[in-house]
Amino acid sequence: MSETLGPRESGVFIAKHSKHVSIHEEAIPKMVHDLYQAMEDGKLRKSSITEHETFPSKHLNQKEALNYVFFLDALNFCFWKPPGKPGWSVKFQDISYTGYFALCAAVARAYDEGIHIFDPVVYSKFTLSELNEMLKGENGVPAPMVEERLKCLQEVGTVLLTKFGGSFENCVLQAKNSAQALLKLVVENFPCFDDSCEYLGKRVSFHKRAQILVGDVWGLYYGDGISKFNDVDSITMFADYRVPQVLVAYGILEYSDELMGVLKKNEILQSGCEYEVEIRGCSIRAVDLVVQKIREFTKERNWKLYPDCNDISVDNYLWSYRREHVERMDATPFHKVISIYY
pLDDT in tens, 225-283: 999 999 999 999 999 999 999 999 999 999 999 999 999 999 999 999 999 999 999 99
For the stretch 55-106, pLDDT in tens is: 987 788 999 999 999 999 999 999 998 877 889 999 999 999 999 999 999 9
Residue 2 lies in a domain: no
Active site includes 240? yes
Catalytic residue (choose from 240, 288, 311, 315): 240
- pLDDT of 1 strictly over 70: no
| φ and ψ at residue 304, rounded to 5 degrees | -70, 130
Continuous H helices in 115-200: 120-123, 128-135, 146-163, 168-174, 179-189
Put simply, whether the predicted model's pTM sits higher than 0.75 gets the answer yes
Q: Is 144 left (phi over 0), alpha (psi -120 to 50) or beta?
A: beta
Range of the structural domain that residue 82 is part of: 7-337
Q: CA of 67: how far to CAs of 74, 264, 265, 298, 323, in Å? A: 10, 40, 40, 38, 27
Residue 281 lies in a domain: yes
Residue 1 lies in a domain: no
Q: What is the pLDDT of residue 328?
A: 84
Decide: 230 and 178 in contact? Cβ < 8 Å.
Answer: yes
Residue 49 lies in a domain: yes
Residue 308 lies in a domain: yes
How far is Cα 313 from Cα 46, in angstroms, rounded to an integer? 6
Residue 106 lies in a domain: yes
> What is the mean pLDDT of the segment spanning 151-167?
97
Domain count, the chain: 1
Q: Among residues 202, 273, 289, which one has the least CA distance to residue 23?
A: 289
| Residue 161 bridge partners (DSSP) | none
For the stretch 325-340, pLDDT in tens is: 888 888 889 999 999 9
How far is Cα 310 from Cα 294, in angstroms, rounded to an integer? 9
Residue 262 lies in a domain: yes
- pLDDT of 308 strictly over 80: no
Residue 290 lies in a domain: yes
